[in-house]
Structure 1
Amino acid sequence: MSAPDRLAEQMPAARGLFHARGEAEVPGDITMTTDELEDMLDRAARRGAKAALAELGLHDAQAATDINDMRSLIAAWREARSTAWQTVVRLGTTALFAMIATAVWLHLKGQILK
């Protein structure tokens, strides 16, 4: 499948606008080679990616450091959340065992005093 056909498949509005050289031309059509089309799409994708990074504030030399800091922050949050749940479970388990031990002690104390 040629690049113009792939483009037309992905973007139905572009169907018929691009065709390979050597095909019949219709007035108003844009004629370009597959390489030219791929280069144009590559440049557009790069511009779009740069614009998206700039909008997020990740367009400068500090972007890699910022992303690493964000990953570290997320990892720390996950660790803190995990530790908090472990603490809650341990507290609940300890309280349950304490209640069972108290009930057994009260039961045995009642039998000893009789």
Structure 2
Amino acid sequence: MTREDMLARLIAQAASEGSDLVTLRAVVEESSELGARRVLERLGLSDDGAHDDIDELRELLQAWRDAKASAWKAAVEWIVRGIFALLLVGIAYRLGVTELVR
């Protein structure tokens, strides 16, 4: 029996016998399962290798996040170094180091 058949029978049971809590829960569970399967099929993730694909995508996303964080960290470090270098040149100029070089 397929999920569609099971859902159809549960809905027919609820219509004919009245809907008690157990039947309603079964209808919700079966329809949720059926909907989830449809979504996975539409996304192309219903095959046996889907779990591996998701794992690879997560690894790729984590690598991207790590690279992005590393790039930002390096950029900030270079900006701070540049500011300190300019500050050092300004201090040297104020102290008159240019006169000592001549």
Change (3 A) 1:109 1:48: same
TM-score (norm 2): 0.71
Q: Within 2, Cα distance between the matches of 1:55 and 1:38? A: 26
2:86 aligns with one of 78, 81, 99: 99
Matching of residue 55 in structure 1 with residue 42 in structure 2: yes
Name the structure where helix makes up a greater proportion of residues.
2
Deviation at 1:112, TM superposition (A): 4.3
Matching of residue 66 in structure 1 with residue 44 in structure 2: no
Q: Which moved more, 1:34-43 or 1:73-82?
A: 34-43
TM-score (norm 1): 0.64
Identity %: 27
Correspondence for 1:45? 32
Greater RCO, CA 8 A, separation 6+? 2
Structure 2 regions of 5+ residues with no counterpart?
A: 1-13
Query: What do you get for the CA RMSD once the two structures are aligned?
Result: 2.4
State how many pairs are aligned: 87
Deviation at 1:102, TM superposition (A): 1.5
Correspondence for 1:80? 67
Partner AA of 1:99 in structure 2: L
The superposition leaves residues 20-43 of structure 1 with CA deviations (integer Å, 9 ceiling, x where unpaired) of 8xxxxxxxx642443333222221
Deviation at 1:44, TM superposition (A): 1.2
Write the mapping of 1:20-31 to structure 2, written as runs, cut at 5 A.
30=16, 31=18
